[in-house]
Amino acid sequence: MSFAVPLTRKEAVLRRLREEIITGLLKPGALIKDAEIAARLGVSITPVREAITQLAAEGLIDISPNRTRQVTRVTQKSALELIDVMMVLACAGFEWGMENITDEHVAALRVKLGEFAEGLRQGNVTAAAAAGADFSTVVILASGNRELQTHVDLVVTRTLRVLALTAESDVWSVWLNGYRQTLELIERGDRAGAVERYRQIYRDYRQRVETLLFDEDR
């Protein structure tokens, strides 16, 4: 029997605020006020301040010289730079991990792909995003390089926040179709082909973000 470790107040606040920023509930430029958040979440100011400090370190909140805090604003340049960094880190980890992938890893990939598709079907962007990130994590962790995964996780979190996509967004199809085809190549034993198809996801993703999410109407 296993038991989940209860979240500390800081962890609970951190998770809640991070999700609100990623999903766009807290919009870019929104002011972050300790007392208001503490009252809304029913906690003291201390865990709120600790969570804000962590979110600032993750690049999700900007703290100005006069200590004003606000949700980090997004520009096309910053969005594309994040994607470029994520591409370099994730693709390197995916390629390294592919050398050590086992049947157990492949089974885990099937599960995560199913959860990803189901999350999108239900309109649960948070669950879909988590499962999609876990798909990559399965292979990256197979590389044995946990330091790399730590950096990938940080960039992925910031990228999800940049997009704040709805379940209906066309950008999700880039990932869903890419993951499906990558898994098919892995199952056929074409590991080199799987790595290249995985890398193509990021190329397509970058192009779609550039043309759809920062068009003249936004």
Map residue 7 onto helix, strand or coil: coil
Given a cut of 70, the residues of the chain with pLDDT beneath it are 1-6, 161-168, 212-218
User: What is the pLDDT at residue 218?
Assistant: 43
Q: Please name which of 115, 107, 126, 122 lies closest in space to residue 176, comparing C-alpha atoms.
A: 115
Torsion-angle region of 42 (φ positive above 0: left; ψ -120 to 50: alpha; else: beta) = left
Whole-angstrom distance, CA of residue 54 vs CA of residue 33:
15
Whole-angstrom distance, CA of residue 165 vs CA of residue 132:
13
Whole-angstrom distance, CA of residue 218 vs CA of residue 39:
33
pTM of the model: 0.75
User: What is the pLDDT at residue 185?
Assistant: 98
Direct distance between the N- and C-terminal alpha carbons of the chain, in angstroms, rounded to an integer? 50
Burial class (CB in 10 A: 0-12, 13-18, 19+), 59: middle
Whole-angstrom distance, CA of residue 138 vs CA of residue 112:
9
User: What is the pLDDT at residue 216?
Assistant: 43
User: What is the pLDDT at residue 214?
Assistant: 59
User: What is the pLDDT at residue 178?
Assistant: 97
User: What is the pLDDT at residue 79?
Assistant: 80
User: What is the pLDDT at residue 123?
Assistant: 84
User: What is the pLDDT at residue 213?
Assistant: 60
In contact, 148 and 92? CB cutoff 8 Å: yes
User: What is the pLDDT at residue 8?
Assistant: 87
